[in-house]
Amino acid sequence: MKHITRNALCATLALLSPGIWAATAPVTPVTPKVMLIAMFAPEAQNWIDRLHLTKEVQVPGLAADYPAIRCNEQDVCLLVTGMGQTNAAASTLALALSPQFDLRKTYFIVAGIAGINPHHGSLGTTAWAHYLVEFGTQWEIDSRDVPKDWPTGYLGINTKGPNEKPPLDYKTEVFELNPKLQAKAFALSHKVVLSESKESAAWRVKYPY
């Protein structure tokens, strides 16, 4: 009886095996031309609506609120990381390690909402940075102990004052962006004229800085 049961079990597994392998067979990975990165829904919605990012690819490890990468037919995709450095790091790592994507020839664009001096720009103004600076690696002195001639209690880590340049002790404090790629992006975009309402222009001149 045991022999029959063992043979029957082996036969059953043999019949099931093709189905198991078919279910877990590797799929052809998505090869995005461009991967857009946003932090939260309001940043992402413009891309989703205008670029018709209707295809969703679920990736384990992404932020709970944004569990899928969205793509379109032109191979442009969007990662929404969730707010904060922890979510950004975890989501980006999850995407990089996912076998569902081949990112070896992908350009990355991190596009986020930021502020600008109202006398230098209006809503929608774009700024191209030369360097990415890790602002989180710094010290802050209690406001009650800040020297009177210091403008703020913040100072670079392992420095003695707010005007001292921090040493690159951790090797992740600053990254230079690809200058040739940046120059090309700037050349393609710097002549774009932004539309602005009269009301917006009137409000901008009211700011004291």
User: 34: exposed, middle or buried (C-beta count within 10 Å: 0-12, 13-18, 19+)?
Assistant: middle
pLDDT at 20: 39
DSSP H helices, the chain, are: 2-23, 41-51, 85-97, 179-189, 198-204
pLDDT at 145: 94
Q: What is the pLDDT along the chain (209 residues), one digit of tens a residue?
A: 444 454 554 444 344 444 434 445 567 999 999 999 999 999 999 999 999 999 999 999 999 999 999 999 999 999 999 999 899 999 999 999 999 999 999 999 988 888 888 988 887 788 888 898 888 889 999 999 999 999 999 999 999 999 998 898 988 888 898 999 889 989 998 898 888 899 999 999 999 87
Dihedral of alpha carbons 185, 187, 189, 190, sign: positive
pLDDT at 80: 98
pLDDT at 21: 40
Tokens of 130: 């030369």
Using an 8 Å Cβ cutoff, are 124 and 114 in contact? no
Tokens of 192: 């774009």
C-alpha–C-alpha distance, residues 115 and 178, integer Å:
24
C-alpha–C-alpha distance, residues 190 and 16, integer Å:
60
pLDDT at 4: 47
pLDDT at 25: 55
pLDDT at 39: 96
Q: What is the signed CA dihedral for 97, 102, 108, 112, rounded to 10 degrees? A: -60
- Nearest alpha-carbon partner for 186 in 128, 130, 133: 128
pTM above 0.85, yes or no: no
Secondary structure class of 11 (helix, strand, coil): helix
Total Cβ atoms within 10 A of residue 133: 10
